A = this chain, B = another copy of it.
């Protein structure tokens, strides 16, 4: 028996080593593709090519009696690695005449992500942190784009101060240079350059959009756009991630930026600032707060986490992981997000009231009413409930594969 098993396992190991060799070879080929794409400014995420390729491999798999989902899952995993390594070649510069980019708050995680992507695309990037305010003048004076990436509770304040500071310092310089300049033609050139330098693109990356956008429009007369990257900064790459944008002023001036973000591999989603913020109340404030309250409850009930995990189904384990994840983050960030608006509090209180109503169903042992409410929500989810089943089945299996 042992000899039989050992012989078979040795063969499996040989197959796995060959597989490893193929992966190495594939990554090398993908790096070459990345190099070509970078040279011609093509987006690294090519959904059509991806879909066509997966379709072919699935068909071939079926002919070989290999489950089609297996080859698709394996190739998707390999492609994800490829996107990350396609970064290494840098990206085509879509706006080569752009003056330097200043990232205010550029040492934060999302700021550093944009710094990296911009530098990989050969833009000049300068960082402006709290401590750099004395040098803000020289850092900002000739900026072609200013990206505000500071905590949400100071975003509007920074936006209001920044353009004023910039305009003041440009006006002062202009006055000095103008007075010192003997030649009338050069004086006119100076004025043109300085006026141009006020035409920088103002961008913010905050997780709320209406307030910052209004503040940017009020404080700056040039092009303005709001971005919200919908992913954690530890993703390492923008490939296949969603970046939401809100148009604000002179979209033709920042069109290249939206295209550049697509070259980095992200998917763009356009929305109005008001609609964006309404959705964020649910996605951020309510969900974070509910998770916070749930974590608090677990801690105060003093349940044994180890035992809870040992007894978890893959779904519940994943939900626990999501709860724990919140508490690995910076509490200040969550306090800021949740307390950023009175609307958040109102929404949370409406949830609390409905929770209370649902408890009344339990207290009345009213199974029929519970089931009726349940069906109402089922109806609201519509076709998505079934789609989610398909989506989660694969994911929960993966969750179980990698169970620590």
Contact = CB atoms under 8 A, between A and B. Distances in A.
A77 interface: yes
B395 A398 contact: yes
A258 interface: no
Q: Which of A78, A335, A386 has the most C-beta atoms of chain B within 10 angstroms of its own C-beta?
A: A335
Contacts of A20: 57, 60-61, 64, 66, 71
Contacts of A240: 400-401, 403
> Main secondary structure on chain A at its contact with chain B?
helix
A13 B56 contact: yes
B77 A384 contact: no
A36 to B, nearest CB: 5
Interface residues of A, number: 160
Nearest to A56: B13
A171 B16 CA distance: 61
Contacts of A396: 232
A245 to B, nearest CB: 12
A371 to B, nearest CB: 4
Interface in A365-396: 365, 367, 370-371, 373-382, 384-396
A381 B294 CA distance: 12
A55 interface: no
Contacts of A145: none
A242 interface: yes
Interface stretch (A115-123, A125-133, A161-169, A342-350): A342-350
A363 interface: yes
A248 interface: no
Contacts of A314: 231
B33 A5 contact: yes
A380 B303 CA distance: 10
A315 B319 contact: no
Contacts of A17: 57, 60
Interface string A280-324: 101100110110111111111101110111111111101111101
Contacts of A349: 359
A179 interface: no
B57 A29 contact: no
Interface stretch (A180-188, A197-205, A268-276): A268-276
Contacts of A287: 316, 319
Contacts of A365: 339
Q: Which of A64, A389, A401 has the most C-beta atoms of chain B within 10 angstroms of its own C-beta?
A: A401
Contacts of A218: none
A244 interface: yes
Nearest to A380: B299
9 contacts: A17-B57, A20-B60, A22-B22, A24-B65, A271-B307, A305-B382, A324-B384, A328-B378, A335-B371
